[in-house]
Structure 1
Amino acid sequence: MQNRPYRSALYIPGSKDRALEKARGLPVDVILFDLEDAVAPDAKIAARDTLHVALADGGYGQRLRIVRINGLDTEWGRADAAAVAAMDCDAILLPKVNGTEDVDALAALVPDKPIWAMMETPQGILNAAQIANHPRIAGFVLGTNDLAKDLNSRTRAALTTSLQLCVLAARAAGIVALDGVYNAFKDEDGLRAECTEGRDMGFDGKTLIHPAQVAITNEIFGPTAEEIDLARRQIAAFEAAEAEGQGVAVVDGRIVENLHIVTARATLAKAEAIAALETT
């Protein structure tokens, strides 16, 4: 689907049949099927088969299906990669990517699926541009909990540089960037504030740990009715100005140039893609 939305990306444990079934009916844009943190060590091997069956059964519509494996330096990682290579999913998510050599290692094991990188280590953040430009990388997922631990930081503000570096690298490489999770899943005001901050930074969406977080996240990362209306008026005014041989238009007292029209058309395309996704 062109202009695919990535507003909400919900982690779902790959070991739990009930959660995998429930995910089929959730209004999320991306499902992050997790074989790593959400699965206990003694359930990791069985989780591969559970997830394989769930994905084969389908029912997830047009949602992007990404499977997060365990790190290749763990006892489960390489077998996870081999299992995911045979699963009916859209991409594979590699945790704790420090550099392009980590991506190369996974690419050799899974030759035909897009790779997403968990950006959650200081070394990975410093190498964000090189990782983003790897030919197999399709997206970044920020692992803000692990990053904060490694940085010994206690506030979201302390992660600002890391977040912005990842957005810059993603935009330069033309890939997707998803913000990290908000841990207090019952705190709607806090979630709304952090979603707004992430959206203002330029992230495409936010990763989530609970279905209760989906509605607010979709709202914040989706275009508003006012933004859609403005986009339509900007396009109409600019096209009218062009027809009269002018290079700029004025809408609501503001200059509208071609760069604004690129954004306006992207806004409308995103709104249409969201509508299409929500009807499936």
Structure 2
Amino acid sequence: MRSLLFAPAVRPDLVAKLPRSRPGAGVIDLEDGVPEGRKDAARAALAGQVAGLLERHPGFAVCVRVNAPPTASFAADVAALPAGLTAVVVPKVEDAQQLEQVARALAAAGHDGLGVVAGIETARGVLDVRALLGGPVTTAYFGAEDYVADLGGVRTKHSTEVLYARSRVALACRVAGIPCLDQVVVDIHDDDAFRADARQGRELGYTGKLCVHPRQVALADEAFLPSPEQLARARATLEAAAAAARDGQGVIVFDGAMVDEPMLVAARRLIAGADGPGN
């Protein structure tokens, strides 16, 4: 899942277009994208929207973002979830009790076993992130905008203010063995800014990115898929290492650089990511 593209449930025109840019998954949003006075209408339209997407685009991964567990809307959102979803996106997860609440609510609504994409986007959530990546959580994402607002900081273009939190979430996801999706870029017209932000996310260990506009999906794929040149170098490195091993050598020099086991692990991971499902 290199890209997660959002569309508000109150914009059926945008929901219907989710598959066009071929994101890893489309998310129908009941949270920030829906004004408080239209929550009931959004929930009422949800089943038809999901059914329409799956009928027209079989196999397309459809998710729904509900409101956070502490809110009054959470229970009604979960009760409105239709069949056929790939996962439910739960924002602002802060403690293990909320995850237990999510699991109970999903089971009561007939969605026991449905994957959960957990949003780590508050100061408390970032601080306790390692404890939040168990139970029903199958993927997590870092939400910079909400995190900075909760922290009382200042959001900047260069994201220095979220470097620690962003790194902490990526590290926790790696230890937990789950994919992690990087923060949004809200300037939908600045492709260079998206590329730079996605490249930094990739360098930090993220496996994909949240997208708020269809044009960002291709940019995310570009950032999180290795280039043909990178793949060729990784394969050549592994071949050189294999040949050296047959000759009884351990550490080798390939293309002017020393190659040891950590570099071989990275090469294998890069190839596996390019050859994985959906690629």
TM-score w.r.t. length of structure 2: 0.89
User: CA offsets per residue over residues 16-73 of structure 1, 9 Å max, x none?
Assistant: 2211221122121122221111122233223234332232231445554321101223
- Contact 1:15–1:48 (CA<8 Å) still a contact in 2? no
| Cα pair 2:113 2:136 within 8 Å, conserved | no
Higher relative contact order (Cα pairs below 8 Å, separated by 6+ residues): 1
| 1:277 alignment counterpart | 278
Q: Which runs of 4+ in 1 moved over 6 A?
A: none
Counterparts of 1:69 and 1:118 in 2: how far apart (Å)?
11
| Alpha-carbon distance in 1 for matches of 2:255, 2:233 | 9
In structure 2, list runs of 5 or more residues that go unmatched. 107-111
Q: How far apart, in 1, do the equivalents of 2:66 and 2:74 lie?
A: 6
Q: Are positions 1:243 and 2:252 aligned together?
A: no
Is the Cα–Cα contact under 8 Å of residues 118 and 141 in structure 1 kept in the other structure?
A: yes
Counterpart position of 1:116:
117
| C-alpha distance after superposition, 1:158-182 (max 9, x if no partner) | 1111111111111111111111111
Which AA in structure 2 matches 1:29?
A: G
1:97–1:120 CA contact under 8 A, matched in 2: yes
CA distance, structure 2, for counterparts of residue 67 and residue 277 of structure 1 = 20
Alignment match of 2:27 (pick from 12, 26, 32): 32
Secondary structure of 2:17's match?
helix
Change (3 A) 1:113 1:208: same
Aligned mates of 2:271, 2:202 — CA distance in 1: 17
Alignment partners' CA distance in 1, 2:251 and 2:60: 38
| SS at structure 1 position matched to 2:242 | helix
Distance 1:206 1:239, change over 3 A: same
Q: 1:246: how far off?
A: 2.8
Q: Please, which of 45, 50, 53 is the counterpart of residue 55 of structure 1?
A: 50
Distance in 2 of aligned mates of 1:46 and 1:109: 21
Which residue number corresponds to residue 234 of structure 2? 231
Q: Distance in 1 between matches of 2:40 and 2:245?
A: 61
2:258 alignment partner, SS class:
strand
Find the aligned partners of 1:81 and 1:116 in 2 and give their Cα distance: 14
Work out the CA distance in 1 between the residues paired with 2:70 and 2:96: 15
Share of identical aligned residues, percent? 31
Gaps of 5+ in 1: 1-5
- Number of residue pairs matched? 269
Q: Against the structure 1 CA distance between its residues 108 and 19, is the aligned structure 2 distance closer, same or farther, given a 3 Å change threshold?
A: same
* Secondary structure class of the residue paired with 1:178: strand
AA partner of residue 26 (structure 2): I
Q: What TM-score do the two structures reach when normalised by structure 1? A: 0.89
Q: Does 1:184 align with 2:176?
A: no
